[in-house]
Amino acid sequence: MRRRLLNVVAAVIGLAATSASAELLDEIKARGELTCGTMDYLAGIGFLDDAGNWSGFDVDFCKAASAAIFGTPDKVKFVAVTGAQKFPALASGEIDILSRSVTATISRDTTLGFSYIGPNMMTGQGLMVHKSTGATDYDQMDGATICVLAGTVTERYLADYFKAKGMSFTPVAAENGDQLFSMYFDNRCDAVTMEPPYLAIRRQKMSTAEEHVIFEDVIAKSYEAPMIREGSPRFYKLLQWMHYGMVTAEELGVTKANVDEMVASSTDPRVQRLLGVEGTIGADMGTTNDWMVNVIKAVGNYGEFYDNNLGANSPLQVPRGLNALLRDGGALTAPGWQ
């Protein structure tokens, strides 16, 4: 099944490549709208409410891209895509950006004809436990029962981790996500394993959310990133440096609240270059020199972008972990803004 999907995507990419004649950034600007494929059902990631409002981490990435290109976050057409639809939709040109929590892997990066932006979320396989167990880290889970999806890489990662630690556990296998969390919340296991953001989403739906603890560390890495089609280097570089710019803004203390003040009064050359006060970086990239000002006004710096959707300022309260700045013990950093 996976190989057939890859072959279909490759064929569609070939057709799209033969008809493509212009840099995608120019096409988007001429069209006056960016199209973004994402989820519409996961609060904090990609969600469409009854009033027609889109929100979430993946959604805000596309709003930021709109701000970078057009100066406003509002020129985005969102398209809800399923797991099966996501790659064909991107390959065919139905969407310009796939921003749907796509895990970066070598096979996807080298065979599909797509380019990753970021990664803009570094997560992994985590653990949520019943608070009543008293456990606060993995070293206290020796002998635990753990709910896990059967036949998945998470099952193997879990076994490898416990074996490497010289600990034991009893797996409680589930056939799908709903069964997995039903068993966990019915107390058939001490813990459940999945990526922390999705653990948080399930926890947030429960009236007993405070009775469940998500460990901050992960046992296996999973880098997630938006994707675009290969062949549009200016569009790729704009999005990649938009991500770097949001990280740099956090490093330099530039926020949604103070960005105008920084433009007017900062004497730091790094801030001046980032915000377009000095130099012509934006114009040279095909947008305006104040493009990062527009991005920060739309979604904030990276810390604000994360915290408002997943972290401290959201109902999910997902710790930043690897997504904290390098100086704060995370893995997030960016090249120099020179």
Question: Which pLDDT score is estimated for 20?
Answer: 41
Q: Is the predicted pLDDT of residue 226 greater than 60, yes or no?
A: yes
Locate the DSSP E strands across 52-120.
Answer: 54-55, 76-80, 97-98, 114-116
Domain spans in the chain, listed from the N-terminal domain onward = 2-120+225-328, 123-222
Provide the pLDDT confidence category of residue 15 given band limits of 50, 70 and 90: very low
Q: What is the pLDDT of residues 154-207, one digit of tens each?
A: 888 899 999 999 999 999 999 878 899 999 999 999 999 988 888 988 898 899
What confidence score (pLDDT) does residue 21 get? 41
pLDDT band at 19 (very low <50, low <70, confident <90, very high): very low
Interatomic CA distance for residues 118 and 246, integer angstroms: 11
- Render 185-241 in DSSP notation, one character per residue: HTTSSSEEEE-HHHHHHHHHTSTTGGGEEE-SS-SEEEEE--EEESS-HHHHHHHHH
Topology match between the domains 2-120+225-328 and 123-222: yes
- 123-222: CATH homologous superfamily? Periplasmic binding protein-like II (3.40.190.10)
**Dihedral sign (CA 286, 289, 295, 301):** positive
| pLDDT, tens digit, 9 for 90 and up, residues 75-106 | 999 999 987 899 999 999 999 999 987 888 88
Q: Mean pLDDT, to the nearest integer, of 32-57?
A: 94
Instruction: Tell me, yes or no, if the pTM score tops 0.85.
Output: no
Residue 22, pLDDT score:
67
Task: Read off the pLDDT of residues 305-337 as tens digits, 9 standing for 90 and up.
Answer: 999 999 999 988 888 888 999 999 999 999 999
CATH number attached to the domain at 2-120+225-328: 3.40.190.10
Q: Supply the mean pLDDT for the chain.
A: 91
pLDDT band for position 16 (50/70/90)?
very low
Give the CA-trace dihedral at 319, 323, 325, 326, to 10 degrees.
110
Averaged over 54-61, what is the pLDDT?
97
What pLDDT sits at residue 204?
87
